[in-house]
Chains A and B, each alone.
Chain A
Amino acid sequence: MDTVLGIDLPTWWFLLIGALISGYGILDGFDLGAGALHLFFRKEQSRRIALNAIGPVWDGNEVWLVIGAGALFAAFPLVYGTILSVFYLPFILFLVALIFRAISIEFRSKEPMRWWHQLWDVSYCISSIMISLLLGLVLGNLIQGLPLNARHEFVGRLRDFFNPYAGLIAITVVSLFMMHGAMYLLMKTEDRLYARLTIIANNTSKFFILCFIATSNATLIYVPHMTSIFKSHPELFVLPMAAVLIVLNIRRSIEKRQYRRGFISSSITTALLLILFAMGLYPNLVLSNIDPKGNISIYEAASSDSSLRTMLLFAAIGMPLVATYTVFMFWTFRGKVKLEEHSY
């Protein structure tokens, strides 16, 4: 099999897509979290500041979703088609929520009426929560595995997706993003909104830690296949340990009011949780919970070697560019938010 630097091409793409999804989780994660917290801010001024904290960057953050989905389509088309068609309605709702989030941000400032602002504030908050919940729901079901028969055909029903474990993961994702968003907003705000956010950060981090403990236990008990890798490779156990330490560090940062550190910690938490998920999965992309032959491995799902190789070259050129734009964007809009004539 074709390898680059000793790693085979499908594995390269498994890693790259993992990196893209982590990038999306970290970047749009704080946008979604800020959105989910939006209705907690009472004053018009506070809401405007919170909105403008993500105003110039959220569109660039969403690009990571577009690239991640495009990369999954290109590298593992079988999985792309399977996951999206199996989760048909959840993904359609996800798309509608993405539309509503985008237009809420865009339209809110366009009219002066109070009811108009209220309307888009509610739409912004609900769509942000919906996006996070649906991502969590899909993730929760992927962790448990899907009812795929030996020919990778889906034989389940829509209502099976709504199970307690997937619900728990969905709530965990919301709590993680809310905490992450609060930390981001703390870096961008001052005065009264800042003071309010310190309380919100404190509460959401406690909420997240509760979810984190519940999720860890539920996964150990109900989804043992996700943890079997640690039996064969005990040295990898360092990763879940690191996750625990990083999560504790979030609390520590909040108590010491070092929110930049807290933000970095919640970013790493997002990435680590996805890495743990990926480790439980590899070398599969989709697990079957009824027939191990139904598992879709990266080798079965991969595009041709020549296509993966060309695309890898594209990624090697393109990803540093995308990273550069992202850094440039955050650098341009660094510092606390000041409302001005172009603000939302």
Chain B
Amino acid sequence: MDNVELLSRIQFAFTIAFHYIYPPLSIGLGVCLVVMEGLYLKTKDKVYEELTRFWVRIFALIFGIGVATGIVMEFEFGTNWAVYSRYVGDIFGSALAAEGIFAFALESAFLGVLLFGWNRVSPRVHFMATVLVALGSIFSALWIVVANSWQQTPSGYRIEGEGMQARAIVTNFWDMVLNPSSLERYSHVLIGALLSGSFLVLSVSAWYILKKNYTAHAQAAFRIALWVAGIAALGQLFTGHKSAEVVTKYQPAKLATMEGHFEKSAPADMYLVGWVNANEQKTTGLKIPGGLSFLVHQDFKAPIHGLNSFKPEDRPTAINFVFQTYHLMVAIGMTLIGLTWFGLYMLYRKKLFETRWLMQLFVWAVLLPQIANQVGWYTAEVGRQPWVVYGLLRTSDALSQAVKAEHVLASLILFTLVYVLLLGLFLYLLNKKIQHGLDVANNGETSSRMNPSFLPMIE
């Protein structure tokens, strides 16, 4: 790996990992905002209005950083990966342009109304703006995941030209969009986003409940977010399984890497935790013998392709890394199901808000979906190496020819400095907004005229 490749890969991974903190938060939070403001319109209850206004301010902060760091990604394809850009422009470029025109324009235009339109448009139009911003961010994710999924499981194309002049041409647009992994990966990403947004609401609300501030507001928000999170966490089990099936079928080398499975063709175990020694081709840990075979083929004895089935140059190199990130994601997924459904059970028992240790757990649980999203993305992207377009274009062939290593290094240092500053400011301001709290007429201590029949709860 030469320096330009290494540095460009680090830069891309770093900038996208940083960017990927924010859009999932704003997608999930957007959905929670729609529910909150919708309840306000329906019940005319002040609590929901004040909640909406509070969360809109946090949404603006998250959205702003998401947009600022997202534009970087779009340009990086051209600056660092010019050969790649030419190779996939027909396809990836189309999806990216569609994202801009059908999704990003929608969210950005109505964001202005959402943030500044309170006194300029009627409550109904404001609610419509909230819905459109949320929809826009959901469509955005759709096109971006479609573009990424095509790289994982290309279809609906043919290759034209040879060597460095080769490029992929769309032959069937809908085959390209609905490639074998699009829907599975999109639903998985979208639910990950719902979890990350709803857990932010849960965390902040739990903190207020512990502090006995804005109790009525915090409990209302907690219920909304707990339902969103509970349903999403269960859904993630399903989409996660579906995604694994797609990986098994279309990216067998990635699957073998995820479970640290080396033998050419043998039943594969499923590990709960483990460690991969790639040099000795050995994986040790707590496992269900034949578990992967069973999961994939419903047969504990069914053989699965191991890494040795693939040419050495076609295998991912960071095997233990992919193994660990994948297993961490799964473990967090399971934890989230347990946490949310235990929370719903306690809500049903009417003990939820009095159980302090559980509230404390929810305050910190905000980190879990974030970590799961990050490591899930590492699994998908590092596991696909050495291909940038699976089976078609190697990452090492995708680089810009005109770019020098020292320029990439300079830009990497610059982005690192800027992003560290950005993260510091983000956390500082987020914390400040949370400390400042809601602007409420009666400090939220006295109960409002909430009509329980409209609340999404089982009390």
Contact = CB atoms under 8 A, between A and B. Distances in A.
Interface stretch (A38-46, A202-210, A227-235, A309-317): A309-317
A340 B119 contact: yes
Interface in A272-329: 303-304, 306-307, 310-311, 314-315, 318-319, 321-322, 325-326, 328-329
A329 B72 CA distance: 25
B401 A85 contact: yes
A59 interface: yes
A60 B68 contact: no
A194 interface: no
Given A66-B71, A67-B101, A70-B100, A304 B414 contact: no
A210 to B, nearest CB: 33
Contacts of B338: none
Contact of B115 (A107, A306, A342): A342
Interface in B271-320: none
Interface stretch (A3-11, A73-81, A134-142, A236-244): A73-81
Interface in A85-133: 85-86, 88-89, 91-92, 94-96, 98-100, 102-103, 106-107, 110-111
Interface string A160-198: 000000000000000000000000000000000000000
B151 to A, nearest CB: 14
Interface in B48-88: 60-61, 64-65, 67-69, 71-72, 74-75, 77-88
A217 interface: no
B80 A303 contact: no
Contacts of A99: 68-69, 72, 418, 422
Contact of A77 (B85, B110, B112): B85
A83 interface: yes
Nearest to B11: A92
A307 B112 CA distance: 33
Interface of B is mostly: helix
B105 interface: yes
B113 A329 contact: yes
Contacts of B109: 60, 63, 322, 325-326, 328-329
Contacts, number: 236
Contacts of B102: 314, 318, 321
A65 B89 CA distance: 18
A62 B68 CA distance: 10
A299 to B, nearest CB: 15
Contacts of B98: 311, 314, 318
A258 B226 CA distance: 56
A324 B113 CA distance: 14
Interface of A: 55-57, 59-60, 62-63, 65-67, 69-71, 73-78, 80-86, 88-89, 91-92, 94-96, 98-100, 102-103, 106-107, 110-111, 153-154, 158, 303-304, 306-307, 310-311, 314-315, 318-319, 321-322, 325-326, 328-329, 332-333, 340, 342-343
A71 B410 contact: no
B120 A332 contact: yes
Given A55-B116, A319-B101, A332-B113, A70 B68 contact: no
Given A69-B74, A81-B85, A63 B105 contact: yes
A94 B425 CA distance: 21
B112 A332 contact: yes
Given A81-B400, A106-B61, A307-B90, 11 more contacts: A66-B74, A70-B74, A71-B97, A74-B97, A80-B77, A80-B86, A81-B84, A85-B82, A96-B415, A321-B102, A329-B112
A89 B105 contact: no
Contacts of B432: 110-111
A90 B84 CA distance: 21
Contact of A85 (B61, B64, B94, B402): B402
B216 interface: no
Contact of A304 (B60, B90, B106, B121): B90
Nearest to A84: B78
Contact of B116 (A56, A67, A98): A56
Contact of A69 (B75, B82, B88): B75
Interface string B374-407: 0000000000000000000000000011110001
A308 to B, nearest CB: 9
A82 B115 CA distance: 38
A110 B429 contact: yes
10 contacts: A67-B97, A70-B93, A74-B93, A74-B96, A91-B79, A92-B79, A103-B68, A158-B407, A314-B97, A315-B101
B117 interface: yes
Contact of A66 (B100, B400, B429): B100
A337 to B, nearest CB: 10
B448 interface: no
Contacts of B171: 306
Nearest to A80: B78
Given A96-B414, A103-B65, A88 B79 contact: yes
B186 interface: no
Interface of B: 60-61, 64-65, 67-69, 71-72, 74-75, 77-94, 96-102, 104-106, 108-113, 115-121, 160, 167, 169-171, 173, 400-403, 407-408, 410-411, 414-415, 418, 422, 425, 429, 432
A27 to B, nearest CB: 11
B273 to A, nearest CB: 39
Given A98-B71, A106-B60, A107-B429, A73 B77 contact: yes
Given A99-B72, A303-B89, A57 B402 contact: no
A95 B90 contact: no
A76 B93 CA distance: 9
Given A102-B64, A332-B120, A73 B418 contact: no
Contact of A311 (B87, B97, B110, B115): B97
A77 B93 contact: yes
A158 B407 CA distance: 10
B402 A88 contact: yes
A326 B61 CA distance: 22
A5 B91 CA distance: 25
Contacts of A304: 90, 160, 169-170
B99 A59 contact: no
A73 B73 CA distance: 13
A59 B67 contact: yes
A75 B75 CA distance: 15
B101 A95 contact: no
A318 B100 CA distance: 9
Contacts of A310: 94, 170, 173
Contact of A63 (B84, B97, B104): B104
B100 to A, nearest CB: 4
A196 B410 CA distance: 41
